[in-house]
């Protein structure tokens, strides 16, 4: 489930032209996203560092701003 959430976040990051208005937010998001992706890779391949449910929660928190930005234009067009 975590992998699907992270890949959806990657798709949304590519899909949105300008996901964040300020450049610094983009860099912070990228750092958080890559950290969660690295944690997922380490956790699933090498050493079990944190629980899977906590990793899923971190993935949802990392992807939530992109999902909000993706759904916002469709709400404005109504």
Task: Give the count of beta carbons closer than 10 Å to the beta carbon of residue 20.
Answer: 16
pTM of the full structure: 0.83
- Give the model confidence (pLDDT) of 51-62 as tens digits: 999 999 999 999
Residues 16, 6, 54, 37, CA torsion sign: negative
Alpha-carbon span 22 to 52, nearest angstrom: 32
In the chain, the largest separation of any two C-alpha atoms, in whole Å, equals 48
**Mean pLDDT value of segment 64-73:** 87
Write down the pLDDT at residue 76. Answer: 66
Instruction: Assign 4 a pLDDT band (cuts: 50, 70, 90).
Output: very high
Task: Give the count of beta carbons closer than 10 Å to the beta carbon of residue 50.
Answer: 13
Alpha-carbon span 59 to 37, nearest angstrom: 8
């Amino acid at each position: 489930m975590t992998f699907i959430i992270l890949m959806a976040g990657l798709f949304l990051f590519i899909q949105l032209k300008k996901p964040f208005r300020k450049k610094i937010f983009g860099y912070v998001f990228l750092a958080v996203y890559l950290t969660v992706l690295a944690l997922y890779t380490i956790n699933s391949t090498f050493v079990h560092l944190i629980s899977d449910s906590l990793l899923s929660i971190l993935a949802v928190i990392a992807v939530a701003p992109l999902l909000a930005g993706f759904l916002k234009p469709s709400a404005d067009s109504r």
